[in-house]
Structure 1
Amino acid sequence: MIEMSSFGSKPEGSESGKTFYNYEVDKTMIKTPSVKNHDVEDGEFEQYGDDTSLSYRDAFEESDEEGHQIKYKTSSWQHITGLMLSEYIILAMMSFPWSYSVLGLIPGLILTVFVAGVVLYTSFIILDYCEKFPHLKNACDIGQHLFWGSNFAWYATAVCYVANNTLIQGVHVLVGGKYLNTITNHSTCTVAFGVITAIISFVFSIPRTFASMSKVAYFSAITMFISVILAIIFVGIQDHPVGYDGTHLTFSLWPQKGTSYVDAMGAFLNIVYVFAAQVTYPQFISEMKRPRDFKKVFLLVTAIEVVIYSITGAVMYYYIGNEYMTTPAYGSLTRKYKIIAYSFAVPTIIFVGSLYSNITTRFIFFKVFKNSEHMHSHTTIGWLSWIGIIVLTWIVAFIVAEVIPFFSDLLSLMCSLFACWFGFVFWGMAYLRVKQTKYEKTNPYPCLDKGEKIRFYIAGFLILFGVYVLGPGLYATVQSIIYNFQANAYGTVFSCADNSI
């Protein structure tokens, strides 16, 4: 594996300013069995990402794994597309009808497109950054690199990274328990259903490479898509939403009078959360055969998610109305329809949590066993360690699901705590860091051309937007949780009570 020789505080860059690499750092890294004692010239990296052929860097990555039993850099853009679709075509999209009911349809649709555009823009930055600094393999490496090589920055980012992934696992344990309660009419204790979900999810977390998980990922995305289409059809053909008491359904193009800041911010954060999954992108890119192909992935996935999210939110909101809205929106379907549509979401409930468990395990395992035989060979210690870390992630996720037994507020909490950094702040800083490196100046602004200056201001906006999500966003989320606990809207911790929808 490529090791980082230095996280020095000075920006990397050649004297010519044409490349973004520290020559001395990269010269020590780029020596492989197939390219012995090859002293790399600065110009050799200028074709990195060329669509017509493998770059020198790509060739090195592939040769570095020659002879290994377990090869990680095996994913094509089709493999990664499946994984990303499984990340985005998820149960959380069923919170969009509720978000639209709070924000109003027009603001809801505008914010959906706006957030999608912002995330798409950051995707270009991430790909560019990973190309410029290919020794950075995950969000924690990037966090350290952005904050001047600080070890504290790496560990602080690691804590947020693992916590974010574990909370996502916890959401899926919670939703799995809700599903089992729903279809069985609460046949046993809810805690037991959480255990069952965690155990099944553990099994699907075990594969060692992203490529080997991609087929299940596609199955997860396709079945979730079917689930959403069925829910849209059913909500249209049923006579009334669940809970109908004769009150006329209302549908608002704009926020209703009296909508509080806390409610509006919670609805907005639900939208941001579903889009802001960039934390996984660097790991995906690092295991692609041709990293440059990642552009195809995020362009395709963004187009799909905007269409699906907008249609799901708008149509289901129209038929459910403000008075009978639930989150996830399956709760507004009559029992027969609910069970059919909800059941098609089961692969997603299981797999997405498994994917994030796998990502966390990969991150910890690579850190502990870097450059050892256990990382690339089928050793007993390697496999026991891999499985042990997976088990640990699911134990913690189960505890999280039992201690934080709520859905939409949990999504908002994760968004305000972690998406602020991994979705926005990091990538605004990444653009600034690239320009500092290019021009070898702490303040590169005077050297920027017109287009770069525009992107410079956009980078500043990304940072401020992330700070807003963290500050006011976290305040609104905490207030919402407090209000709901006061209203007894949530159960107690480790409760056997029915939480079906």
Structure 2
Amino acid sequence: MATTPRTPSPAPSSTHSTPSATMKKEADEAQATVAVGLDDAVFGQITADGPNYRGVSGLGAFVLMFKSNIGLGILSLPFVFQTLGLVPGVLVLLVVQTIVCYCARSIGTFKRNHPSTYGLPDAGRVFGARWVHEYLYLFFLVDMVTTVSSAVVSLSAALNGVSAHAACTAVFIAIASVVGFGLGSIRTLEKITALSWLGVVSLLASVITLTVAVGVSGPAAAPVDWHKEVRAFGNPSFAKAMSAVNSVLFSYSATPCYFNIVSEMADPREYEKYLYLSTSLLTVLYLIIGILVYCFCGQYVATPALASAGPLMSKVCFGIAIPALVASLVIYAHMSGKPLFVRILAGSRHLTSNTLTHWATWLGCMAATSAVAYVIASAIPNFGNIISLLGSLISPNDCIIPYTFMWWHDNWRYKSGEERGSTRLRLTLALNVALFFVALFMTVAGTYGAVKDLIDSSSSAGPWSCADNTGSA
């Protein structure tokens, strides 16, 4: 069922002379309605009788962006530094975060220019056509559902670790899926921010504990008389290097969620400020934790890095990290069901009213996406390799490519020849074209590396296995 925006972006005039003025007027009108708080271009009439879909504060947006990125993905970064070497690893991380932040920045401007866009697929309808909308919707949905599946597996592994495998892993996966459905069914992102703050504190405590543990005792896998090897420059194969680069991209891959976050902000004009704050703190944390853990563990760093601390400390770290894992699961479970819910009820009073249709549709969307995520998490033995493959295919398409078209649509597409003569505009166009081809290269090369890893790997576990999955969490 296609989205029917309440306030569709106007078609450009035949002379192509008015889109900028029209978009500015549309953005000003959207800001006026935000101030009143009565009508929204996506959700329609917002009253006290229904959920407040425009209640996310600036700090709330910051913690949602920060937590949607930072998860156990941070624990792959020490291994990235071991693979690439410290110097290339740091450079790759800085380059990737700059590219992703630049692309994510365009979300705020595009949302203000086109208030009726709720998510990345809706942006595709504006700059492309219906098939672009459906293409991006498919990528977004697969991205969100597989991320939920990954979060389910991570939470089940943590439960396995702290309980010393007290129950069948299939049981823990089912428990994690129920938790994701239950808490993810909270209807507004504003209400999820408190859990996000708890998750950030929990994860920071976990990785700091890990860092101290390996700093004091060294890596668990190292022999008694080990000699540390910390390399400034690595010598990986092309496939392993691209796999490492895509691991870094995956650590910043929450960008498509930002559209949903800015759509629920009380004041979308604050988006860029908190985006920069989130990205800056995220990068500083990634560098500190990644470099310290790699320098402490050397060639014996494990992936994920929790395994570097040994069985006892890994159990402690997993226990501390459980709230963080729950928070990640809840955010992505919510993000998986919400766009489907908005798409089905777009233009209907049921979208913002506490009606039976509203609740049935909302819980039905959450149940459907949670069930698919549960099946994926339970049925695929080589799940980590599958996620790596999907990340290579999806992350560049969700985090880089669409935003180059968004810039082109708002800043170049309807400009006259005279307006296109600006040196700055031409350089920015060249930058966006370059980013488009960089993303294509990362997709092809990353997929090659992921497929090679998938072929080379094996798993003794089968679908709905009871085997302990702690080592692959």
Q: Does the Cα contact within 8 Å between 1:77 and 1:288 map onto a contact in 2?
A: yes
User: What is residue 494 of structure 1 aligned with on the other side?
Assistant: 464
TM-score by length of 1: 0.86
Q: Does the Cα contact within 8 Å between 1:82 and 1:218 map onto a contact in 2?
A: yes
Separation of aligned partners in 2, 1:106 and 1:355 = 33
Separation of aligned partners in 2, 1:16 and 1:433 = 13
User: What is residue 341 of structure 2 aligned with on the other side?
Assistant: 365
Separation of aligned partners in 2, 1:275 and 1:99 = 14
Say if 2:405 is the partner of 1:435: no
Q: Pairwise mapping of residues 378-457 of structure 1 onto structure 2 (< 5 A)?
A: 378-406=354-382, 409-439=385-415, 447-457=420-430
Task: After superposition, give the CA deviation of every residue in 1:462-491 in whole Å (9 maximum; x if it has no partner).
Answer: 111111122111111111111112xx4x63
Q: 1:85 aligns with which of 53, 66, 69?
A: 66
User: Which residue identity is paired with 1:413?
Assistant: L
Separation of aligned partners in 1, 2:9 and 2:283 = 40
Separation of aligned partners in 2, 1:450 and 1:171 = 45
Q: Does the Cα contact within 8 Å between 1:45 and 1:57 map onto a contact in 2?
A: no
Q: Does the Cα contact within 8 Å between 2:156 and 2:173 map onto a contact in 1?
A: yes
Gaps of 5+ in 2: none
Q: Does the Cα contact within 8 Å between 2:81 and 2:290 map onto a contact in 1?
A: yes
Separation of aligned partners in 1, 2:139 and 2:252 = 18
C-alpha displacement of 1:100: 0.9
Q: Relative to 1, partners in 2 of residues 1:14 and 1:212: Cα closer, same or farther, differing over 3 Å?
A: farther
Task: After superposition, give the CA deviation of every residue in 1:104-131 in whole Å (9 maximum; x if it has no partner).
Answer: 1111111111111111111222222222
Calculate the aligned-residue CA RMSD, in Å. 2.4
C-alpha displacement of 1:342: 1.7
Say if 2:241 is the partner of 1:264: yes
C-alpha displacement of 1:20: 5.0
Q: 2:252 aligns with which of 248, 271, 275?
A: 275
Q: Does the Cα contact within 8 Å between 1:45 and 1:56 map onto a contact in 2?
A: no
User: Which residue identity is paired with 2:63?
Assistant: G
C-alpha displacement of 1:47: 5.5
Q: Does the Cα contact within 8 Å between 2:181 and 2:366 map onto a contact in 1?
A: yes
Separation of aligned partners in 2, 1:452 and 1:228 = 43
User: What is residue 194 of structure 1 aligned with on the other side?
Assistant: 173
| Structure 1 SS opposite 2:470 | coil
Q: Relative to 1, partners in 2 of residues 1:445 and 1:124: Cα closer, same or farther, differing over 3 Å?
A: farther
Q: Does the Cα contact within 8 Å between 1:95 and 1:408 map onto a contact in 2?
A: no
Gaps of 5+ in 1: 22-42, 49-53
C-alpha displacement of 1:71: 2.2
C-alpha displacement of 1:295: 1.0
User: What is residue 187 of structure 2 aligned with on the other side?
Assistant: 208
C-alpha displacement of 1:158: 1.3
Q: Does the Cα contact within 8 Å between 1:73 and 1:287 map onto a contact in 2?
A: yes
**445-454 or 272-281, which moves further after superposition?**
445-454
User: What is residue 6 of structure 2 aligned with on the other side?
Assistant: 3
Q: Does the Cα contact within 8 Å between 2:420 and 2:426 map onto a contact in 1?
A: no
Separation of aligned partners in 2, 1:66 and 1:194 = 37
Separation of aligned partners in 2, 1:13 and 1:131 = 23
| Structure 1 SS opposite 2:314 | helix
| Structure 2 SS opposite 1:135 | coil
Q: 2:277 aligns with which of 300, 308, 324?
A: 300
User: What is residue 87 of structure 2 aligned with on the other side?
Assistant: 106
User: Which residue identity is paired with 1:3?
Assistant: R
TM-score by length of 2: 0.91
Say if 2:457 is the partner of 1:484: yes
Separation of aligned partners in 2, 1:319 and 1:407 = 29
Aligned residues: 463
User: What is residue 308 of structure 2 aligned with on the other side?
Assistant: 332
Q: Does the Cα contact within 8 Å between 1:171 and 1:410 map onto a contact in 2?
A: no
Say if 2:140 is the partner of 1:140: no
C-alpha displacement of 1:403: 3.2
C-alpha displacement of 1:187: 2.4
C-alpha displacement of 1:496: 1.8
Separation of aligned partners in 1, 2:326 and 2:197 = 13
Q: 2:443 aligns with which of 454, 465, 470?
A: 470
**336-345 or 300-309, which moves further after superposition?**
336-345
Q: Relative to 1, partners in 2 of residues 1:120 and 1:474: Cα closer, same or farther, differing over 3 Å?
A: same
User: Which residue identity is paired with 1:359?
Assistant: M
Q: Relative to 1, partners in 2 of residues 1:105 and 1:185: Cα closer, same or farther, differing over 3 Å?
A: same
Q: Does the Cα contact within 8 Å between 1:189 and 1:497 map onto a contact in 2?
A: yes
Separation of aligned partners in 2, 1:244 and 1:380 = 63
Separation of aligned partners in 2, 1:431 and 1:154 = 17
Say if 2:198 is the partner of 1:219: yes
Q: 1:19 aligns with which of 5, 18, 21?
A: 21
User: Which residue identity is paired with 2:466?
Assistant: C
| Structure 1 SS opposite 2:457 | helix
Separation of aligned partners in 2, 1:236 and 1:12 = 66
User: What is residue 212 of structure 2 aligned with on the other side?
Assistant: 233
Q: Does the Cα contact within 8 Å between 2:146 and 2:376 map onto a contact in 1?
A: yes
C-alpha displacement of 1:500: 1.6
C-alpha displacement of 1:44: 4.1
C-alpha displacement of 1:245: 6.3
Separation of aligned partners in 1, 2:361 and 2:168 = 32
Task: After superposition, give the CA deviation of every residue in 1:338-359 in whole Å (9 maximum; x if it has no partner).
Answer: 1222212111211212211111
| Structure 2 SS opposite 1:250 | coil
Q: Does the Cα contact within 8 Å between 2:412 and 2:420 map onto a contact in 1?
A: no
Separation of aligned partners in 2, 1:75 and 1:355 = 14
